[in-house]
Structure 1
Amino acid sequence: MPRSQAHTSTVRTSRGLRRRTVRIAAAGLTAVAALTLTACGGQDNPLRTSAAKPYHPAPRPAEEPAAEPAAEPADGAPARGGAAGLGGPRPDGGSAERTSATDGGSGARAGAGSGTQRAGQSDSVRHRACDAARIRIVAQPLKEPVNHLLLVATNTSGATCDLYDAPNLRFDAAQSPLAVLPDSRPQAVVTLAPGESGYAGVLTSSADGSGRHGHRATSLSVSLPGRDGKGSIGGSARVPLPGGSVYLDDSAWVTYWQSDVRDATTW
């Protein structure tokens, strides 16, 4: 080969090697840049890639029990919180429900001077039967209705008592008490607090003169039955008659004890 051709071939070979070297270097730089970008992007989350703060979620202790949902009562009402004062159980087993300090109790008492009827009264709230020796009984005349007396029984003791049934009245030396008017039975027993009064109406004779065996009675004794409507609690009390006497015939009757004077005088 001539010298000039050999020189030309050598130059071409050198240029080709330089171009290949440049391409290889460029490819290497591209790869390094890609690796650098990947590394920088991974450092955006230090908890996942940083050696200083590795991401290792802590396992749940095996002995820690899982939380369970609060149970609901059998009736479907949501369970109440157990904190004191919020209605939950106390450590002593009682209830933490709070009651008002200003609660007035089971109900207002009747006004002074009149008895109170308690419907559906149970044995746990019954009081002792009123004792004739601790009750002041007075017989008062009435203008209307005619031929009537009003018995007023006032509790003079220091304890509440119950007036049961109807008063047992005996005029003069009668062997049996005066008849009781059945329709006058109240719905509940009459309860007398100290100072309160109960009432009973007495028809002494018929207004139209239809009664028989009329006579003038000059004395009256009153006794109070027990809870069963029988017996005589505290014996009998002698009650003065208005004017000293009253005309009596066989139509006479007495009402059951009433808490309101109007209920005793409307028969």
Structure 2
Amino acid sequence: MPITTTSRTVTATALAAAALTLITACHDTPGSKADNPLSAVSPAPAPAPGDANPPDPGGRVACTPEMLRFHAGALPHRDRRMLLKVTNFSGRTCDFAAQRYPLLRIGEGRQAALPAIRASRPLTVVSLAPGDTAYAMILTSAGGPAGRGHRGRRISQFGVALTGRAAPTQVGLDGRAPVHVDPRTATVTYWQPSSVAARQW
């Protein structure tokens, strides 16, 4: 009897040792998940507020005075014509969809903006890629009988607003040569995509 009991005890001990060895080998095998940090899965961080649709750095926006350089001056050999140019020096494309012609104010005070020439409206909204230029022709007074009898004034600068609620940006004339303008009969074209289009008016 003692011999049988001893044999059973040795057999049970051997089985337990084999099982422990197998479990240890499973956990210590090279390449297992415990030894490979790349296989661990961490929960993704919650998006910060406002990051669901981050702004597109190359997206189109409305043109603002801070994005543009303004130039204006009388056209040689063109009576009653003054050309306004705006160049986009920013790194983003912008457009004039909100206000498709410049709001020009001649003189001081709360004078109304010059009316636009409706026939000059382009078929599509003028947009400016970085470095591009848009144009608007200013007819400084009416021609023919409509322009007679109005004294007007000589100006060396005028105000340009890109939207109805924006404060006008003062634009000086190239060369500072004064130009005679009659605010009561002067008009302006819509923004044009080229100087050729603007010079047609």
What is the TM-score normalised by the length of structure 2?
0.62
Question: What CA distance in whole angstroms lies between the structure 2 residues aligned with 1:209 and 1:133?
Answer: 40
Maintained 8 Å contact 1:132/1:236: no
Task: Find the partner of 1:220 among 146, 158, 176.
Answer: 158
- Other-structure match for 1:158: 91
- Other-structure match for 2:81: 148
- Other-structure match for 1:67: none
- Other-structure match for 1:181: 117
Return 5+ residue gaps in structure 2 as ranges: 1-57
Q: Read off the aligned partner of 1:145 and give its amino acid letter.
A: R
Question: What CA distance in whole angstroms lies between the structure 1 residues aligned with 2:124 and 2:133?
Answer: 15
Do structure 1's residue 170 and structure 2's residue 108 form an aligned pair? no
Maintained 8 Å contact 2:160/2:171: yes
**Larger RCO: Structure 1 or Structure 2 (Cα < 8 Å, ≥ 6 residues apart)?**
2
Maintained 8 Å contact 1:172/1:217: no
Question: What CA distance in whole angstroms lies between the structure 1 residues aligned with 2:63 and 2:138?
Answer: 20
Query: Residue 62 of structure 2: SS of its match in structure 1?
Result: coil
Question: What CA distance in whole angstroms lies between the structure 2 residues aligned with 1:169 and 1:144?
Answer: 23
What is the TM-score normalised by the length of structure 1?
0.47
Change (3 A) 1:256 1:224: same
Question: What CA distance in whole angstroms lies between the structure 2 residues aligned with 1:139 and 1:210?
Answer: 25
> How far did residue 126 of structure 1 move?
7.7
Identity of aligned residues (%): 36
Structure (1 or 2) with the greater strand fraction: 2
Task: Single out whichever of 139-148 and 197-206 deviates more from structure 2.
Answer: 139-148
- Other-structure match for 1:240: 172
Question: What CA distance in whole angstroms lies between the structure 2 residues aligned with 1:239 and 1:170?
Answer: 11
Maintained 8 Å contact 2:74/2:179: no
- Other-structure match for 2:197: 263
Maintained 8 Å contact 2:59/2:92: no
What do the CA deviations read for 1:45-104 (whole angstroms, capped 9, x no partner)?
xxxxxxxxxxxxxxxxxxxxxxxxxxxxxxxxxxxxxxxxxxxxxxxxxxxxxxxxxxxx
Q: Read off the aligned partner of 2:85 and give its amino acid letter.
A: V
Question: What CA distance in whole angstroms lies between the structure 2 residues aligned with 1:159 and 1:236?
Answer: 22
Question: What CA distance in whole angstroms lies between the structure 2 residues aligned with 1:173 and 1:213?
Answer: 18
Maintained 8 Å contact 2:117/2:188: yes
Question: What CA distance in whole angstroms lies between the structure 2 residues aligned with 1:221 and 1:179?
Answer: 14
Return 5+ residue gaps in structure 1 as ranges: 1-124
> How far did residue 192 of structure 1 move?
0.4
Question: What CA distance in whole angstroms lies between the structure 2 residues aligned with 1:126 and 1:140?
Answer: 32
What do the CA deviations read for 1:147-195 (whole angstroms, capped 9, x no partner)?
1011110001111100231001011115111111111111011110111
Question: What CA distance in whole angstroms lies between the structure 1 residues aligned with 2:119 and 2:61?
Answer: 25
Change (3 A) 1:217 1:170: farther
Q: How does 1:30-69 map to 2 (within 5 A)?
A: none
Q: How does 1:81-96 map to 2 (within 5 A)?
A: none
Q: Read off the aligned partner of 2:172 and give its amino acid letter.
A: P
Instruction: Write out the 4+ residue segments of structure 1 that deviate beyond 6 Å after TM superposition.
Output: none
Root mean square deviation, CA, Å: 2.1
Do structure 1's residue 208 and structure 2's residue 138 form an aligned pair? no
Question: Greater CA radius of gyration, 1 or 2?
Answer: 1
What do the CA deviations read for 1:1-44 (whole angstroms, capped 9, x no partner)?
xxxxxxxxxxxxxxxxxxxxxxxxxxxxxxxxxxxxxxxxxxxx
Aligned residues: 137
Q: Read off the aligned partner of 2:68 and give its amino acid letter.
A: I
Q: Read off the aligned partner of 2:188 and give its amino acid letter.
A: V
